[in-house]
Amino acid sequence: MSETDRRLKDHLNTNQAKRERMCLEILSVQDDYTDVRPRLPKGGPDGGRDLQGFHKESLLFGAVGFVNDATDLGQHRDQIKAKFKEGLENALKEKKDGTPQPKAFVFFTNVGLTPGIISDLQKLTYAKGIDFCDIFDRESMRIVLDSNRGYAIRFRYLDLPLNDAEQKDFFGAWADEINSAIGSGLKGIDQTTKRIQFLLESQMLLNSLGTIVKLDASIWEVCKGEFFFQTMLSLRVHSEGFVGVTFGGGTEEITETLDEWKSREGGLTRNGQYSFGFSWLLPETSMYQCYIDGAEKLEHPKNAKEDERLEYIRTSRSSGILEVGKSHFYFRTLSEPFLYRFQPTCKMIELDGCMILFECTAEIAEHIDQITIVRGGYELLKLSKADFRPVKGSYDRLKVPIEGKQEVVPREMV
């Protein structure tokens, strides 16, 4: 018996939330399954559906039936058969929210089932009008978890590290995939690769975090160089007092048009831009004490309320040239340590589930083609124009630096 097989029997005893999440991730690395998501893994009225998604074009519902200290004896197999039928009935019940009937059903269990049992259960689903049924018993899950596509899932939920042979297999396959992607213009980096990247890098402190904004025209064509843009990132759970960061920038000074710059035939443009970063720290926490105590002068956002002035502090600033002929701009926050880490930060894994908002002048919003959040050389998030939902706002509600001039030159904000 392999260690994976043994741990599937009892490692997740009573932990239904982790059981469902593991099964969902196993399903997500299978061919033909898309948009798989949990219902309510922590409990609650999930309508009898532990997970849902699509198998090819068919709506899929699924159920997870684990038992504590699983065996392959008749008692546990009978228990799982009953659980399967219960899950199937719940999947086929008419839903009050108007959800259509599924055409596919998937079931996970940590009990070993014979081919005959699996066949009988599948026939039952087909008789109920289901077109496709997939059953993952303990052995089926073990095969996935002991393969390259499942090592990360196995490590996350069963606490099983990779042995030497598996490490070679893991990194060999990852390297091939990345090289293939680079060779085709960095296309085809799929969710599996990103998940592997995240697993390997997740425990490292972030040395940089940046936002790249790509426009569908040059900065001059879009707004004559006058703009403001910021990213607001808030962690789901604070990291030693670090709650999040607001960073971005805007126009510092516009002194020449694009044509005037080009006519000089070389040399740096005289147009300028500024960038800023404000960290949000909880008072009386270790991170707060590290960055606040002993500081002679702190700068707060202009629009921070009095009760917020202890929480929002300036941690980065810079100014530079603004090349209005370009069709993108980039803002960066956080810092690498030298003798001292100058800006608060968090681990990469702590970005999971964070909230991100973008705010900018309306002219910019209308021409944004793509926004990418990057960490070093890795893409953490890429949004296309179809992913945006612009909402009008006002400049005076934003937490901005003292050099921001959009209140002097009023512009509609989004």
Higher-scoring residue by pLDDT: 62, 201: 62
| pLDDT for the residue numbered 414 | 65
pLDDT digits (tens, 9 = 90+) for 81-125: 999 999 999 888 877 767 788 999 999 999 999 999 999 999 999
pLDDT digits (tens, 9 = 90+) for 120-178: 999 999 999 999 999 999 999 999 999 888 888 999 899 988 888 887 777 776 666 65
- Calpha distance 278→142 (Å, rounded): 47
| pLDDT for the residue numbered 192 | 65
Structural contact between residues 361 and 411, judged by C-beta atoms closer than 8 angstroms:
yes
At 367, the pLDDT band (50, 70, 90 cuts) reads very high
Out of 38-42, 187-191, 199-203, 363-367, least confident range: 187-191
- 379 DSSP β-pair partners: 374
Between strands 104-108 and 58-64, the pairing is: parallel
- Calpha distance 167→173 (Å, rounded): 10
- Calpha distance 255→72 (Å, rounded): 78
Q: CB 167: neighbour CB atoms within 10 A?
A: 12
| DSSP structure string for 334-356 | ----SSS--S---BGGGGTT-EE
| pLDDT for the residue numbered 346 | 84
- 136 DSSP β-pair partners: 108
Alpha helices by DSSP H, 206-308? 219-223, 258-263, 286-292
| pLDDT for the residue numbered 241 | 86
What is the pTM (predicted TM-score) of this model? 0.51
At 408, the pLDDT band (50, 70, 90 cuts) reads very low
Q: Return the closest-CA partner of residue 11 out of 158, 154, 110.
A: 158
Higher-scoring residue by pLDDT: 330, 410: 330
Sheet containing strand 104-108, edge to edge, reads 33-38, 51-55, 58-64, 104-108, 132-136
At 410, the pLDDT band (50, 70, 90 cuts) reads very low
Judged against a pLDDT cut of 70, whether residue 204 lies above it is answered with yes
Tokens of 177: 């995939």
- Where do we find the tokens 């997939």? 134
Largest CA distance in the chain: 86
At 5, the pLDDT band (50, 70, 90 cuts) reads very high
At 203, the pLDDT band (50, 70, 90 cuts) reads confident
- Calpha distance 305→402 (Å, rounded): 15
pLDDT digits (tens, 9 = 90+) for 266-307: 678 889 999 998 888 888 787 777 776 645 467 777 777 777
